[in-house]
Amino acid sequence: MYLSFTLSSNFLLRAVLAALISCCLSACSPTFDWREVRDPTAGYSVLMPGKPSTHTRPVLLNGMTLDMGMRAVEVNQIMFAIGQVRLADSSSAAATLTIMKNQLLASSSTTSTREKIIPAADGRGTMIEVEAGGAPGAGNSGQSRALYGRFISKDAALYQVLIVGPKNKITDEMVETFLTSFKLP
């Protein structure tokens, strides 16, 4: 009788644990629902943590008014965004890319804490990696803000790939996943 009680109590314990785990897992939904997003017009693909919205707006860069195509999604107070503009030709791409970066940092009230310039292996562009921080922003519950980005030129196209949000909510894994997933043909 003792053996049958032990077997049935172990079985009962396992069944209860399995039910609890199943309930916990079914109640969870992932905060970041990573999905591949392709923009055939702008020529890139990227992993985004949700379904992005798409906008176009005029921007003034290097004395030129250009239409910037944007895709962005906000998850857990963190904005993931891609911006893209096309220049008439590539002769001013490097200067315009630097202006794009500087204007974005100024408008987001952040200061660059790390920058790295990487020329493209094929000689057709440049990438500027940026890490920046700033004072608490609206809706950030008094938390310091962080910005991680890559500003990329390829021929006559310029891209900004950005993560902006409360510093304590942005993880290295998010930054790595998002920034390294951005691909150009």
pTM: 0.79
The Cα 75–Cα 35 span in angstroms is 13
Say if CB 94 and CB 126 are below 8 A apart. yes
| Burial category of 120 from C-beta neighbours within 10 Å (exposed 0-12, middle 13-18, buried 19 and up) | middle
Q: pLDDT per residue over 9-55, tens digit each?
A: 444 344 333 433 333 333 344 688 999 999 988 889 999 999 999 99
Q: pLDDT per residue over 148-161, tens digit each?
A: 999 999 999 999 99
First to last CA, the chain: 71
Q: Which of 55, 58, 86 is nearest to 73 (CA)?
A: 55
User: Model confidence at 108, in pLDDT bands (50, 70, 90)?
Assistant: confident
